[in-house]
Amino acid sequence: MIVVMKKGATKEQIEHMIRRVEELGLKAHPIYGTERTVIAAIGEKRDEHRASLESGAGVAEVVPILAPYKVASREVKPEPTVVRAGSLSVGNCHLGMIAGPCSVESAEQTLQTARAVKAAGATALRGGAFKPRTSPYSFQGLKEEGLKILAAAREETGLAVVTEVISEGDVPLVAGYADVLQIGARNMQNYRLLEAVGEAGKPVLLKRGASATLDELLLAAEYILNAGNPQVMLCERGIRTFETHTRFTLALSAVPYLHDRTHLPVVVDPSHGTGHTSLVAPMAAAAVAAGADGLIVEVHPDPETALSDGYQSLTFEEFEGLMELVRRVAEAVGKQIE
Ligand code: PEP
Ligand code: MN
């Protein structure tokens, strides 16, 4: 249920209603909007208390939340959420450009890439230090050494660092270095990990599982939001279909669909979404045209020798070309890269 307070409801009335919701055994999640405050009442038996809450002082109405996800839904918070992490802003009119290697391979490779993507206009650096690899025989990442390299790249370039955390036990370590914690497609439904990043106090980039529905993605986001972290970005990174020409099928209709259902910003990953260098820039442009709030793109100094995902990584020059194209589309749809 959503307890919608009247315009001009007092602080005392709002606090009283939060207490009332909690007394009923429900979790109160207040959202202070510019116009009015709403309190999402989350819990199993939520609808039975509707009438009793409706009589509270300062309450305009109590309405059921129809979507299976609650805190993520537009019904609870109509205005778009803007996620901020250092140099990165994602949401509303801010288009975040996250770029960098799939994996942190060395200080030289990461620093060179950070400098190049920054010069081309990226607003954050990506790079995996803990890699979730399909094969246990593939490169697993430099782990803490990789995190240190990312921190050094941030120090030099000022770019916020986006990096993946693959296990609950690693959350404190990764959160100690990262500006944004990435939850990869393979871990979208690792609920204990979602709760742990919810408690870590750092913005989260939550990638859609390759076989997950959009409702499942939103319910996964709900775990993070419920743990008290409102800074969540959703990421469409392609799903499994019968198509074999591309590594995954980049479902761009997810962008306007999610914008309709949730206030959370939506980032698109055209690198994993296509799996082919030549398709990355056109799909990046298409994502921005569809309303994406951010892009995450793999860039490598020498894609041919990359330790992971070289076939979908852009050279520095190709990334400059992507930025030029994206800048023009962003301007056309009223978004700023900043
Ligand atoms: C990545 O970003 O390098 C990655 C592993 O992505 P995904 O989880 O979408 O496969
Ligand atoms: Mn990758």
Enter the pTM of the model: 0.93
Q: What per-residue confidence (pLDDT) applies to 194?
A: 98
Q: What per-residue confidence (pLDDT) applies to 147?
A: 98
Q: What per-residue confidence (pLDDT) applies to 43?
A: 81
Q: Which residues of 180-204 are buried (b: 16+ CB within 10 A; e: fewer)?
A: bbbbbbebbbbeebbbbbbebebbb
Q: What per-residue confidence (pLDDT) applies to 156?
A: 98
How does pLDDT run across 154-165, given as a tens digit for each residue? 999 999 999 999
How does pLDDT run across 131-155, given as a tens digit for each residue? 999 999 999 999 999 999 999 999 9
Domains and CATH numbers, the chain: 2-63 (3.30.70.1140), 83-333 (3.20.20.70)
Say if ligand 1 is within 6 A of residue 185 CB: yes
Q: What per-residue confidence (pLDDT) applies to 35?
A: 83
CA distance 39 to 98: 33
> Which segments of 109-259 are extended strands (E)?
124-126, 160-164, 180-183, 204-207, 232-236
Q: How far is the CA of 168 from the centre of ligand 2 (A)?
A: 20
Q: What per-residue confidence (pLDDT) applies to 46?
A: 59
Q: Please, which residues have CB within 8 angstroms of residue 166's CB and are 6 or more apart in sequence?
A: 130, 131, 132, 184, 186, 187, 193
Q: What per-residue confidence (pLDDT) applies to 50?
A: 86
Q: What per-residue confidence (pLDDT) applies to 33?
A: 81
How does pLDDT run across 272-289, given as a tens digit for each residue? 999 999 999 999 999 999
Say if ligand 1 is within 6 A of residue 20 CB: no
How does pLDDT run across 154-198, given as a tens digit for each residue? 999 999 999 999 999 999 999 999 999 999 999 999 999 999 999
Written as one letter, the residue type at 187 is: N
Residue 296's DSSP bridge partners are: 98
Q: Please, which residues have CB within 8 angstroms of residue 167's CB and are 6 or more apart in sequence?
A: 130, 193
The answer on pLDDT for 299 being more than 70 is yes
Q: How far is the CA of 235 from the centre of ligand 1 (A)?
A: 10
CA distance 65 to 309: 41
Which CA distances in Å does 198 have to 24, 183, 297?
Answer: 25, 11, 25
Q: How far is the CA of 309 from the centre of ligand 2 (A)?
A: 5
Q: What per-residue confidence (pLDDT) applies to 42?
A: 86
Say if ligand 1 is within 6 A of residue 159 CB: no
Q: What per-residue confidence (pLDDT) applies to 79?
A: 94
CA distance 12 to 265: 32
What phi, psi does 256 have (nearest 5°)? Answer: -65, -30
How does pLDDT run across 35-94, given as a tens digit for each residue? 889 999 988 765 678 888 999 999 999 998 888 899 999 988 999 999 999 999 999 999
Average confidence score pLDDT of the chain = 96
CA distance 150 to 177: 8
CA distance 158 to 199: 25
